[in-house]
A and B are shown apart, each in its own frame.
Chain A
């Protein structure tokens, strides 16, 4: 015990020495003393991979990560991780890490110095600043996204910035905004511990959010009764745990949700009190509807019609209606890409809210709709910081003059710096890049040459434009680049991210990046400062100083653009605390940086109450959310009309743009597998993960396979109107797609399924549909 205390004091002393050292640099570097054990020092960091945001403890020694464990103190995962999380450390050490900047000269990419790279990028931007774009990521940390946003919207005065989260969460965002007036969920992971019924809407959470899945399944194993309904178009590992598997025709989720609402109104089982107090109805033209008019709209979605359209039996539809009509059931709806990557993604998000609003299953412990996020900071960075073509930090938009002014004031840029015209969203950005409307693009933390749909079309000519790619490994995208910048990864830098349940988590740098690899934030600061030196007006703030002017406590300027200075300071703290001022408008309040150092994250709104920073478990809910007005149980305080009511939208069924026909008779659905993260650039460097799932495959229904004469391991050609690939068949494998459909994962860079996919997108969210297009399947 004494020993322990002495050890602890020693570490505190060391930490304060470090703090003293960094305060000489002008910054107090708050430090969680690393725990020492096994000769390793252990520090917290949220997992690098998905949107669950599990806490890990990272063990380092001699400047290297050597082990990763689940963090028992983190309430997200309570000590458990998944296969990817446990192996996150090994993802740093692939032999082919990028360690030096590269420039394309002729057909080769040759090493250059950082000075040359920064110089070339700055010159290119100065030449044509309004046609420069940034394509970022939901894996950007909050300070990274914030820097990119300020760089392009404040510095260059254009809005051509969009993240890969557009391909992932945009429909959820627009769904939230249209229904509740503000983005992000009311519920949280605690609801997983309290629900008695779970419905997943096209979601394979056993593989994609495994820690959340097992959180519920372990409850069942402990004797609790959990009814799990899997609404899907493909049998997956999740289906194996389901009490009810309901297989529907792709796109008819729209009709199924309406049919549940129809039954609630028809049978009178809807929550009359809740609806009267908290819900209003609108049609597609934004015209108000009475509940009778809404009921008339739903008449079309009676059980008979919906059963015919969706392929669900009448009994199944009735069962769903009864579950939501039962006042005593605590129903948790979960979804992710199945609903978001949808040409009517916004509508289906709205419709699932309708079901929960009508049944009053909203904001109650265990009984609420909950939108899962794909990426570790799609919420924190893309949605809260707002690194989207139309957005500004804290839920603001570029179109609003007042919003622009508020942001300009915090950024101290000259009035009028921010452009009022939204920039290109992802698909239009790549179309513009292909056409030449955009002259240059900087890609960070993502791999679009593998992940953008309809690659042939959307990546045409991209090797002819000026493309800068910051990444940690060579990817199909870096191969197209004029300049490749080697980046720091995960615990090689400081970071702050925000997960699905509004939890903001922070970590400190633990090891140095390899070779000459450097932080993404530094890369942008260096280019911005180069522009400033060149006399570029936008990079000067209203006081004539550098746009990213940072001062130490003595008022002395910090040369953040100088790597030798940058690596000794914590710019995350400065950027985060600056960004913080912008989070209050829509009650997305976050706490000061130092508060996150002490905790395993906090769920916003985080408010100061009696000198303590208090998080919010359930948003809009009395006694949890401090912004709920006195006397209200639920308060939709950001409702556009100011009436504190959520909107139930009358959204009709709408057929998908491409359906199987005689020439292309199969549905194609794409997705992920548990072993790999997105395009596999990191997990593909981990021996255990890569061996477990070395390549992509096509999954077929056994009857389809028999008809086509295909067995396990046969090479199969998948062809659409846009392209084709050949890959091995897996018939009785991990999943079983519905008859007449096939599934292909997208992690394999040698088998690019996105050459086949369709780039049609939801007209409201601009999110493309990776889950449905028509293909021909034949033995190769």
Chain B
């Protein structure tokens, strides 16, 4: 009896996982003809409510032109890039928002790649862009070899090899948190499923 209960529970887990794996297959979103301003969750500058604001993969995606693009900055910025790292080295709460840490704080010229989501305040209105741009979406979850296997890393590691920066339990993006970030040595169990040998992003350039 005990034995069959155990088998049953295993089966249920398997069915559940198989089902969820289906949901994790990569899809493509179509960004066509965007309507005016904030595509993303209202940034702090437009918002005066209290309480923490958490976000998920949808928000994450809305801040990027395509999977792999640097996200836009959803708030006002200071004058020097040094200020960015005041908040973006570890999750910090500010006016109800939590700052996601940068996975590559060693690169100091932040505004080289990250631009404001909305332009400077001197422009009273934002603009509408008519575009036929189609973007690839963020990968969802890595594949598992078998139901109990740790999922693989479904994204490139270039500039994103500091796992804790995004997957920490205190990260504002609730969808990508892991429940055991205290274990630190992520790559012990999670290997990239991105075919690194074929990837143009996998190896360092050597002269």
Contacts and interface: CB of A to CB of B under 8 A. Distances in A.
A237 interface: yes
A95 B123 contact: no
A57 interface: yes
A210 B136 contact: no
Contact of B115 (A75, A89, A94, A675): A675
A712 B123 CA distance: 9
A691 B127 contact: yes
Contacts, number: 197
Contact of B200 (A73, A81, A210): A73
Contact of A214 (B107, B130, B199, B202): B107
A695 B122 CA distance: 10
A96 B136 contact: no
Contact of A93 (B82, B131, B194): B131
A90 B122 contact: no
Interface residues of A, number: 72
A190 B176 CA distance: 39
A87 B119 contact: no
B66 A66 contact: yes
Interface in A61-80: 61, 64, 66-75, 78-80
A289 interface: no
Given A694-B119, A713-B124, A685 B109 contact: no
B129 A686 contact: yes
B117 interface: yes
Interface stretch (B12-20, B68-76, B164-172, B178-186): B68-76
Contacts of A693: 115-116, 119-120
A240 B115 contact: no
B132 interface: yes
A48 to B, nearest CB: 15
A714 to B, nearest CB: 9
Given A86-B113, A87-B65, A210-B109, A691 B126 contact: yes
Interface in B152-206: 156, 158-159, 194-195, 197-205
Q: Is the interface of B mostly helix, strand, loop or mixed?
A: loop
Interface in B1-46: 26, 31, 33-34, 37
Contact of A695 (B80, B81, B123): B123
A688 B68 contact: no
Interface string A273-301: 00000000000000000000000000000
B131 A90 contact: yes
B108 A214 contact: yes
Contacts of A685: 129, 131
Nearest to B66: A67
B130 to A, nearest CB: 4
B121 interface: yes
Interface stretch (A37-45, A258-266, A718-726): A37-45
A82 B79 CA distance: 18
Contacts of A240: 79-82
Given A37-B198, A67-B66, A86-B69, A730 B122 contact: yes
Nearest to B125: A694
Contacts of B135: 66-67
Contacts of B199: 35, 37
A266 B66 CA distance: 59
Contacts of A686: 65, 129, 131, 133
Contacts of A67: 66-69, 135-136
Given A89-B133, A685-B131, 15 more contacts: A1-B197, A4-B195, A37-B195, A67-B135, A74-B205, A90-B131, A217-B108, A222-B106, A691-B127, A691-B129, A692-B118, A694-B123, A694-B126, A697-B122, A728-B123
26 contacts: A35-B198, A38-B136, A57-B201, A66-B134, A69-B201, A70-B158, A72-B202, A72-B204, A73-B203, A75-B205, A82-B112, A83-B113, A83-B115, A86-B70, A86-B113, A89-B66, A96-B130, A214-B109, A237-B111, A240-B79, A690-B127, A692-B72, A693-B116, A693-B119, A713-B121, A733-B120
